[in-house]
Structure 1
Amino acid sequence: MTEKTMTYQRTEYPRPQFQRDSWMNLNGTWKFAFDDQNIGESDKWHQNLTETTDIQVPFTYETKASGIGDEQFHPYVWYQRSFEIPTDQIGKKVLLHFQASDYLTKVWVNGAYIGSHKGGNAHFSFDISNAVTTNDKNEVVVKVEDSNSCYQPRGKQRWKEDNFGCWYVQTTGIWQTVWLEFLENKSIEHVKMTPNIDTNSVVFDYSLTGNIDEQLRVATTIQFKGETVKQFSFTPSRSTMHFEVDLLAEIHEWKVMHWTPEHPNLYDVTIRLYEGDRLLDEVQSYFGMRKVSIKDGQVLLNNRPIYQKLLLDQGYWQDTMLTPPSDEAMIEDIEKTLEMGFNGVRKHQKLEDERFLYWCDRKGLLVWSEMAATYEYSEQAVENFTKEWLEIVQQYYNHPSIITWVPFNESWGVPHIATNKKEQAFTESIYYLTKSMDTERPVIVNDGWEHTISDIITLHDYEEFGERFLDRYRDKEAIVQNDIAHNNDKFPFANGYTYKGQPIIISEYGGIAFNEGSGWGYGNQVETEEQFLNRYRNITNAIKDIPYISGYCYTQITDVQQEINGLLKEDRTPKISLEKIKQIND
């Protein structure tokens, strides 16, 4: 391991939207072993993991930061580490959390099997209270099973031996923070917060765990910049409760502070659970008062049209790949994005670390949250995708920066959607399932082309000449009637679906690469900054000049492995003046 990779540590609180003081970070050095023959369970490795090497969690074995750096695919991997219960947490319920582990994760504590979770992107936890001991070290053993199956949501992870096209080295095993949390038997499980700027209110949906009785009381305090806005409490009659709170207050002349990219105002929330006078649980959270809606072919933010200038962001780093190396690295990407004049990112084929979303919430960067794709259609793929997508929507719901859900991209996983009724029905079902959980955000079904039912019509087009782009898109009716193809041979709608007046956004374009050795971009490569800026200016201005197009997403923020069309190199060194990019975006 190089000196640089040894400095990577993930010590931050992993879930800032639902934060407690009583937690323990389990990142760091774990024992690790490959199990290519899949003999570990029959040989009872969960009782004693031998012949191991060290790995730095949460970085996967494929990364340099893990200390291993083996890019070969290994379908079965094992982890082990010990921990002690802090003295002041003895007697409490112990939860073991995984922010993300790809793909099937099995857990043992002190030799006892705890449970499993399938899915590579959603976070999950286990109650290990009955398995831990308080007077000695505890051993946690984790087995993760992965595969090259195109039926599992894999995003940009390759399923062949080598990288190809825009698919990169796979991510196997634990790739986000592992941590412990200590709770009373009665606690706050979840709070869903839904702002409504039209009524100046916010709805709280509380979920509690443990026996509900008349001794319990839930108290909520809402503050803005340290000043109390509202306080209220109630005695729960069941484990789920629903409250709507009027936010009007004399904190400012506007009475309610809205969240926008220019002014990302956040309300802080403290939620406490009491039994009599005894404090059982306390959670810190926050929300933003913002509204996303659609009217007259425009996306509205807080009832006003917003022209979206997005940057495609795949969330890869040179030494850590899909795992962000640090808070500072995430902040750097966000600040450089804003510095270049973009107001949002399309998180492409990745469910990003919640701390990234936290910083987007705080800094005012809009986010399109996109699911990792499967690549073949089957009933198994439908089941895998649907289960994990519903987990994601629930887990990410409270982040104000997320303004759009993108479950499907470019017909990946639904390759015959243009004509296949089953695949069309699948995308419709995901659209309505998402809406059943979140009526507040637009849902894009099949970003790029061949849309079925979708709140926004998004088109991908890597045309490199602005004049040709203008000619292609000048006639809106010809585009939306499927009379003109884009991106070579694609059409906006699947068979049987028609335009309903939705906003139209060019959600992938550009991809300009410099001619600098191996690697690829879209179209002809450029030699100089001047050539790059001329091409970027011409195509971006062409998009802006088409009145019915209400935004764009440039490909992309950084180089990723063999794909070298980033505005920044993999190490985040700018290739072009950020100020010159900003001037064109403005």
Structure 2
Amino acid sequence: MLPAHAGEHIKVEPLRWYHHCDRLGILVWQDMVNGGGPYRPAVITPPAVVPMRLGDGRHEWFGRGDAGGRERFREEMRETVEHLRNVVSIAVWVPFNEGWGQFDAADAAAEVKALDPTRTVDHASGWHDQGAGDLNSLHVYFRRFRAPRRRSDPRVLVLSEYGGYNLRVDGHAFNDKDFGYRRYDSAGRLGAAFARLHAQQIVPAIPRGLSATVYTQLSDVEDELNGLLTYDREVCKLPEDLVRSVNARLRLTSAGGPPPPTR
């Protein structure tokens, strides 16, 4: 399991940011900056609720009908790898996330792996998996997560986004927007739900092959209040000992030992 992680959705940070990740021992899953034309809601939205997979060779469906734009993405993908390849904390390259501007993801994964064979590649994080890369990468929010009992896929099974539970802390939010995948009105209820989620869904999936999890998310952002910390990083919404106990249970279960009870 990967307890310390920072996902970089569709942006490249200043090198100082990566330096601090190196210094603190935070693993970075680095997205490429997505592009293309307007995305079709029928392609991007339904997979969040109902498992589905579309072939990304249908470029128009994914807002990728422009051949010049596709080539520019490939150029920028190569430039991103070269720019950041010496950053110690980068553990995973992510060409595409949740179908945003996705096209020919299997080819992109192969090119990234050729450029940097030392790192893992998550070719299509979330949905519209094309069977490529090193990870079978799932995002699960609006349904119960269950790892399949039998898997023929040789890739590593990863729950790369889940949770996203919301709690507003007045005076510590960026604005009045209140997005989250499930809302709670007190720290106590949030903590109970956090523990229950891991005990009932995540821990049982580990013996079935779940190898890594990425909880959404470390801190609130501008329009989302689903972080473990508030936007200004001044308030931790969950008791630290609760988070430590959940992480300890994940680690012990993945090591094959008897899991301690989750509080």
TM-score (normalised: structure 1): 0.34
1:437 aligns with 2:131: no
Deviation at 1:573, TM superposition (A): 1.8
Return the letter of the residue paired with 1:557. L
1:461 aligns with 2:140: yes
Residue matched to 2:164:
511
1:427 aligns with 2:105: yes
Residue matched to 1:231:
none
Residue matched to 2:240:
578
Deviation at 1:345, TM superposition (A): 1.8
CA shift in 2, pair 1:379/1:476, >3 Å: farther
Residue matched to 2:59:
none
Output the CA distance in 2 between the equivalents of 1:430 and 1:514: 37
Q: Which runs of 5+ in 2 are unaligned?
A: 37-62, 170-175, 249-263
Residue matched to 1:527:
185
Return the letter of the residue paired with 1:538. R
Output the CA distance in 1 between the equivalents of 2:23 and 2:179: 35
CA shift in 2, pair 1:344/1:518, >3 Å: closer
SS at 1:531 equivalent: helix
Output the CA distance in 1 between the equivalents of 2:87 and 2:114: 18
- 1:338-417 equivalences under 5 Å are 343-375=4-36, 376-377=63-64, 378-414=66-102
Q: Is the 8 A contact 1:368 1:403 kept in 2?
A: yes
- Which whole-Å deviations, capped at 9, do the CAs of 1:371-430 have from their partners, x for residues lacking one? 12225212132122111110110111112211110010111113xxxxxxxx3xx22221
* Higher alpha-carbon Rg: 1
Return the letter of the residue paired with 2:185. E
Output the CA distance in 2 between the equivalents of 1:455 and 1:553: 16
Deviation at 1:308, TM superposition (A): 1.5
Output the CA distance in 2 between the equivalents of 1:564 and 1:535: 16
Deviation at 1:456, TM superposition (A): 0.7
Output the CA distance in 2 between the equivalents of 1:558 and 1:579: 18
Return the letter of the residue paired with 1:395. H
1:449 aligns with 2:127: yes
- Which whole-Å deviations, capped at 9, do the CAs of 1:47-86 have from their partners, x for residues lacking one? xxxxxxxxxxxxxxxxxxxxxxxxxxxxxxxxxxxxxxxx
Which of 149, 155, 164 is residue 502 of structure 1 equivalent to?
A: 155
CA shift in 2, pair 1:365/1:527, >3 Å: same
Residue matched to 1:118:
none
Two-structure CA RMSD over aligned residues (Å): 1.9
Residue matched to 1:55:
none
Output the CA distance in 2 between the equivalents of 1:442 and 1:474: 21
Return the letter of the residue paired with 2:240. L
More strand by share: 1
Output the CA distance in 2 between the equivalents of 1:529 and 1:535: 10
Return the letter of the residue paired with 2:32. M
Return the letter of the residue paired with 1:396. L
- 1:46-125 equivalences under 5 Å are none
- What is the aligned-residue identity percentage? 30
- 1:256-271 equivalences under 5 Å are none
Output the CA distance in 2 between the equivalents of 1:463 and 1:351: 29
Deviation at 1:545, TM superposition (A): 2.2
Higher relative contact order (CA 8 A, sep 6+): 2
- Which whole-Å deviations, capped at 9, do the CAs of 1:462-499 have from their partners, x for residues lacking one? 147xxx43xxx25333xx5xxxxxxxxxxxxxxxxxx5
Q: Is the 8 A contact 2:147 2:210 kept in 1?
A: no
Q: Which runs of 5+ in 1 are unaligned?
A: 1-306, 310-342, 415-422, 481-498
Output the CA distance in 2 between the equivalents of 1:474 and 1:411: 22
Q: Is the 8 A contact 2:161 2:213 kept in 1?
A: yes
Output the CA distance in 1 between the equivalents of 2:180 and 2:80: 31
Deviation at 1:582, TM superposition (A): 2.3
Output the CA distance in 1 between the equivalents of 2:148 and 2:218: 31
Output the CA distance in 2 between the equivalents of 1:476 and 1:502: 15
SS at 2:121 equivalent: coil
Return the letter of the residue paired with 1:459. L
1:568 aligns with 2:229: yes
- Which whole-Å deviations, capped at 9, do the CAs of 1:421-470 have from their partners, x for residues lacking one? xx3xx222211221221111111111012211121111000147xxx43x
Return the letter of the residue paired with 1:519. D
Output the CA distance in 2 between the equivalents of 1:440 and 1:455: 12
Output the CA distance in 2 between the equivalents of 1:582 and 1:380: 48
Q: Is the 8 A contact 1:463 1:510 kept in 2?
A: no
- Which whole-Å deviations, capped at 9, do the CAs of 1:292-320 have from their partners, x for residues lacking one? xxxxxxxxxxxxxxx213xxxxxxxxxxx
Q: Is the 8 A contact 1:463 1:509 kept in 2?
A: no
TM-score (normalised: structure 2): 0.73
Q: Is the 8 A contact 2:165 2:190 kept in 1?
A: yes
Output the CA distance in 2 between the equivalents of 1:382 and 1:433: 14
CA shift in 2, pair 1:347/1:544, >3 Å: farther
Output the CA distance in 1 between the equivalents of 2:14 and 2:243: 27
Output the CA distance in 2 between the equivalents of 1:513 and 1:353: 28
Deviation at 1:515, TM superposition (A): 5.4
Residue matched to 1:545:
204
Output the CA distance in 2 between the equivalents of 1:356 and 1:476: 40
Residue matched to 1:556:
217
CA shift in 2, pair 1:544/1:351, >3 Å: farther
